[in-house]
Amino acid sequence: MHDIEPYFAWRDDYAAEEDEHSPFYGREYDEFHYHNKIYNYYIHPQWDEFGSLTLYTKILYADYDEGFAILEFIGEWNDCLYNDIKFLKEEVIDVLFKHGINRFIFICENVLNFHGSDDCYYEAIYEDISEEMGWMAFVNTLPHVEEEMVNTHIQYYAYLGANLSDVNWRRYKPKQILQLIEQYLNTHRNRLQY
């Protein structure tokens, strides 16, 4: 786990710790001291904590003019025990939304498990961002994670599944990923689990 770094190829374009609108503004990272853990496993120090005990994120890119952000996650998404979506909403999404972000791309290939509870916070996020024509898209979720998300009814408030589970996003720049996701959502909206 400690070898899995957040994607860093866009660091010249965006760094959350240098963005005064980011909830992680001003953070400093020690590349040699590992202190965050997911259960008994240390994780790379570049991941950002936001209140969860088992889930960490990294804002890979935020564009306030275009109104979108790409966040990568690692760990176990556990709404059942730790209410991770509450912390994510209050500590990250609401902060970005306040500054004009209404489209969220969540890279979830390193989310190893998902334990759902109810869908109230997902619904609250949906209500906030949909008023501004926004959306959330879960990209590259593992099959068992997607299955649990569907069992929790998240598909009513966010896009997931279908070809969103197999996006080769690293070969694109952030705005190209936004275009790719939006094009896909516009042409396959009826076939997604939305």
Question: Per-residue pLDDT tens for 104-121?
Answer: 999 999 999 999 998 999
62 within some domain: yes
102 within some domain: yes
pLDDT at site 188: 66
Residue among 126, 135, 192 nearest 165 (CA): 192
DSSP string, 111-174: EEEEE---SHHHHHHHHHHHTTT-EEEEES--HHHHHHHHHTTGGGTSB-SGGGGS--GGGS-H
Q: What is the mean pLDDT of residues 135-141?
A: 97
- The 3-state DSSP class for residue 177 equals helix
Range of the domain at 65: 16-41+49-188
- pTM here is 0.94
Task: Say which CATH number the domain at 78 has.
Answer: 3.30.750.24
Question: Per-residue pLDDT tens for 59-98?
Answer: 999 999 999 999 999 999 999 999 999 999 999 999 999 9
pLDDT at site 3: 76
183 within some domain: yes
22 within some domain: yes
Higher pLDDT: 67 or 34? It is 67
11 within some domain: no
What's the structural domain count of the chain?
1
